[in-house]
Structure 1
Amino acid sequence: MGLVVMLSLLSSCASRKDLVYFQADSTALNTAYELNAPKLQPGDILTISITADDIRATEPFNQINAYQTGTAQNVNPFIPTYSIDNDGFVDFPKIGKIKLTGLTRTQAVNKIRDEVSKYIVNPGVNMTIRNFKVTVLGEVVRPGTYTIDNDRITLLEALGLAGDLTINGVRSNVLVIREQNGKKDEFRVDLTKREALNSPVYYLSQNDVIYVEPNGARIQSSKYTQNTSIFVSIASLIITIVAVVVR
């Protein structure tokens, strides 16, 4: 049993280069959010509301909940919600279908503002992605799916939400799976190097999946399951019997 414990401890040893994030090197950091901002996709659920100095002028553009009238509407106003269809369009009041897929949130806001400006002077457009979520799996403290309040989240922030990598997580080969234009792409990120901050998936998109693979020690330790417990129990019994016979 002592030998098993010793081998387990030796196999779990990890060097500094395996554990430390963003080790110093000469890599220049040039990540720009504007170039890597997530793009709107079919299935995204958006809240869009129009504002202006003349509130009455915005009424045709803001959906009203039929059950929300009178003072209740003033206390808790209804926020219009739209879903991007499979062809990339939302059906917006008065304007009709607007194609938003492939645009960043900022670009989509500007496009809607241009359309609404044909009817309202200096309109404001507020938009959020209601179903922006990322999934973190593997060797992290709290694996799961996390809903994000806005569309700006980094790979590091997502790992932070999941409680960071465990000591058994491979930091040099983090996998990010992203669906783009109907197909899934894989990106590998080495968090031990500063160049990770320049990765095209440093800023995450909605529905990204992050997977942290286990290291050798974790894989090895998984072999010591119930069978190991049985082996240890049998070994202990044999030792006890030998001790009694010798005595």
Structure 2
Amino acid sequence: MQRPLIQNLLLLLFAIQLSSCITTHHTNYLQETKNFIPSYNDSVSYQDYLIKEDDRLFIQVYSMDDKTNALFNGSGSQNTQLMSGTGSNQNLDLFTYIVHSDGNIIFPLVGEIYLKGKTIRQAKDFIETAIKPILVINSVDVRMVGRTFSVIGAGKSGKFTFPREKVNIYQAIAMAGDLGFYVDRSKIKILRETENGSIIKTFDVRSIDIINSEYYYLEPNDVIFIQPLKEQFFGVSTIWSAISTLVTTYSFGVIIYNSFIK
């Protein structure tokens, strides 16, 4: 009676080990939508970000008149540093404007300019239109500053700055140092702030359909949540490690059998 019981236990352990193996199916990106890899509707393309409350906008005004440049952009040295990206954060803050709860920024000589809900390109046109009746200018440059996203979970934690206007989910993963071997790529979650409150989007980052879906591009202040695979409990990453663990388990079972059963 005891021998079949031990054999059944060993077979059960073997089945568990095989089911817990982590293969390339679990870890590879851009997989075709088959073998439990979901498909997503090709319905949402990249949409320009719409300015929201508390966004910070860096605004520079360009004019042939040095006094106008100095008024909006500071001294010549400050202006050169800001345009080249070598200026200090203090200088940057001097020409950064916060979008208030009413959707307006307060701009020198002009006063309130409503920018909430506008794209960066639309904001540029609105500011130029507001300034031109007062001063002769060539153009206006508008950029968002302080655009970040966060990554939390499964040993990953950090806050990252957008290096460009558009950042997709794969670029975000690369910036975070890639997902670990034991991360569940089938259940990536993004917490996103919207005008109607916070929403959570859950998707499988292994699917090639992600590229043309609503999950592909990040927005400022997104939080990416990652969680470990259940297989991490067994620590089995390949068939060879499964066999090694099985042999060890079998040997341990034989020792117990010889010591207590015979």
Task: Report the secondary structure of 1:172's partner residue.
Answer: helix
Question: What CA distance in whole angstroms lies between the structure 2 residues aligned with 1:112 and 1:72?
Answer: 24
Report the AA paired with residue 55 of structure 1. Answer: D
Question: What CA distance in whole angstroms lies between the structure 2 residues aligned with 1:73 and 1:38?
Answer: 29
Name the structure 1 match of 2:26.
18
Answering whether residue 218 of structure 2 is matched by residue 188 of structure 1, we say: no
Name the structure 1 match of 2:55.
44
Report the AA paired with residue 109 of structure 2. Answer: K
Alignment check: 8 A CA contact 1:176 1:187 kept: yes
Task: Report the secondary structure of 2:143's partner residue.
Answer: strand
Q: CA deviation at 1:134?
A: 0.3
Alignment check: 8 A CA contact 2:44 2:212 kept: yes
Does the C-alpha gap of structure 1 residues 161 and 73 become closer, same or farther in structure 2, counting only changes over 3 Å?
A: closer
Question: What CA distance in whole angstroms lies between the structure 2 residues aligned with 1:161 and 1:28?
Answer: 27
Task: Report the secondary structure of 1:112's partner residue.
Answer: helix
Q: CA deviation at 1:186?
A: 1.1
1:114-125 alignment, distance < 5 Å: 114-121=129-136, 123-125=138-140
Question: What CA distance in whole angstroms lies between the structure 2 residues aligned with 1:145 and 1:6?
Answer: 42
Name the structure 2 match of 1:32.
45
Alignment check: 8 A CA contact 1:45 1:83 kept: yes
Alignment check: 8 A CA contact 2:104 2:114 kept: yes
Gaps of 5+ in 2: 1-9, 34-38, 83-90, 236-254
Report the AA paired with residue 45 of structure 1. Answer: R
- Report the TM-score, using the length of structure 2 for normalisation: 0.68
Q: In the TM superposition, what whole-angstrom CA distance separates every residue of 1:88-131 from its partner, at most 9, and x where no partner exists?
A: 21101111111222222222222212222333445322222221
Query: Which piece of structure 1 moves more, 121-130 or 81-90?
Result: 121-130
Alignment check: 8 A CA contact 1:116 1:123 kept: no
Question: What CA distance in whole angstroms lies between the structure 1 residues aligned with 2:216 and 2:43?
Answer: 11
Does the C-alpha gap of structure 1 residues 9 and 88 become closer, same or farther in structure 2, counting only changes over 3 Å?
A: farther
Over the matched positions of the two proteins, sequence identity in percent amounts to: 27
Answering whether residue 146 of structure 2 is matched by residue 131 of structure 1, we say: yes
Does the C-alpha gap of structure 1 residues 138 and 156 become closer, same or farther in structure 2, counting only changes over 3 Å?
A: same
* Structure with greater helix percent: 2
Question: What CA distance in whole angstroms lies between the structure 1 residues aligned with 2:157 and 2:198?
Answer: 21
Report the AA paired with residue 133 of structure 1. Answer: T
Aligned residues: 213
Does the C-alpha gap of structure 1 residues 6 and 127 become closer, same or farther in structure 2, counting only changes over 3 Å?
A: farther
Task: Report the secondary structure of 2:129's partner residue.
Answer: helix
Q: CA deviation at 1:133?
A: 0.6
Report the AA paired with residue 14 of structure 1. Answer: I
Task: Report the secondary structure of 2:140's partner residue.
Answer: strand
RMSD over equivalenced CA pairs, Å: 3.3
Alignment check: 8 A CA contact 1:196 1:202 kept: yes
Answering whether residue 157 of structure 2 is matched by residue 143 of structure 1, we say: yes
- Report the TM-score, using the length of structure 1 for normalisation: 0.72
Query: Which piece of structure 1 moves more, 88-97 or 192-201?
Result: 192-201
Name the structure 1 match of 2:103.
88
Q: CA deviation at 1:10?
A: 4.7
